[in-house]
C-alpha cells in the first residue's frame, strides 16, 4: 500500500483525532521530497481506534521495547509509526493538537503538525534529513513563522545551535540565492 493511500485511510477513519508528523507533514507544506513511511500522533484514548483501522487494512502491530512508538507494517511494505506519549524527546501534548492545521495532502485534506512543531520535532531528531526538512520549511514558509513563537516552542539555544548548519542543508536545487536568503532571515531573528 502506498503512502498516499495509507494517509487517506487514516484521515478518513480518524479525522482530526490523528495528526501527521514527519515526512508526510513536511510534504504538506513543502513537497520537495516524497516520504516512504507514515508518522502519526494520536491521543492515548484514540489509539485503539487507530490500531483497529490499521489492523483492518492488513497491518501487523508491534511495540519496540526501546522506543515510545507503535510500529505497524503491512505485508506489501507500507509502514506506520504511531505516537501517543512522546516523539523522541518531545512530549505529545494538547498544544500539538491545537496548533495542528488542516492542509492538503494529495487529493485529501489531513490534520498535520504546525510548521513550528515540525521544526521542533525535526531539530530534536537532528539527523541530516531532518535539518534539510527544517531548512526547506524555513525557506518555503518563512513569512508564516512567528520568530518569537518559534523561539518559545523550540528554544533559543536549540535554534542557535542549528542555525549555522541550516542554509547549507538546503537541497542543491534551492541554489545559492535561497541559501543567502535563509541566512539573512536567520540573522534577522538573532539566531546566527
pLDDT tens-digit readout, 35-71: 889 999 999 999 999 999 999 999 999 887 666 899 9
State yes or no: pLDDT of 171 exceeds 80.
Answer: yes
Please indicate, yes or no, whether the overall pTM of this predicted structure exceeds 0.75: yes
The tally of domains found in the chain comes to: 2
Domain final residue, candidates 113, 140, 171: 113
Is the domain of 29 the same as that of 47?
yes
- CA atoms of 164 and 172, how far apart (whole Å): 17
Confidence of residue 161 (pLDDT cuts 50, 70, 90): very high
Is the domain of 13 the same as that of 45?
yes
Is the domain of 109 the same as that of 119?
no
- Using one digit for the tens of pLDDT, what is the confidence trace for 91-119? 999 999 999 999 999 889 999 999 999 99
What is the rounded average pLDDT for all residues in the chain?
94
Amino acid at each position: 500500500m502506498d503512502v498516499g493511500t495509507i494517509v487517506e485511510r487514516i484521515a478518513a477513519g480518524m479525522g482530526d483525532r490523528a495528526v501527521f508528523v514527519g515526512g508526510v507533514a513536511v510534504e504538506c507544506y513543502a513537497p520537495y521530497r516524497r516520504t516512504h513511511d507514515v508518522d502519526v500522533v494520536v491521543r492515548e484514548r484514540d489509539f485503539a481506534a487507530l490500531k483497529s483501522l490499521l489492523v483492518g487494512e492488513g497491518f501487523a502491530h508491534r511495540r519496540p521495547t526501546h522506543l515510545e512508538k507503535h510500529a505497524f507494517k503491512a505485508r506489501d511494505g507500507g509502514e506506520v509509526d504511531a505516537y501517543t506519549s512522546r516523539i523522541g524527546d518531545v512530549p505529545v501534548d494538547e498544544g500539538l493538537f491545537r496548533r495542528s492545521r488542516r492542509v492538503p495532502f494529495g487529493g485529501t485534506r489531513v490534520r498535520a503538525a504546525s510548521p513550528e512543531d515540525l521544526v521542533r520535532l525535526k531539530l530534536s531528531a537532528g539527523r541530516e534529513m531532518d535539518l534539510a526538512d527544517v531548512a526547506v520549511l524555513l525557506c518555503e514558509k518563512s513569512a508564516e513563522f512567528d520568530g518569537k513563537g518559534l523561539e518559545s516552542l523550540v528554544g533559543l539555544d536549540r535554534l542557535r545551535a542549528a542555525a549555522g548548519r541550516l542554509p547549507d542543508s538546503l537541497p542543491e536545487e534551492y541554489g545559492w540565492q535561497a541559501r543567502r536568503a535563509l541566512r539573512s532571515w536567520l540573522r534577522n531573528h538573532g539566531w546566527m
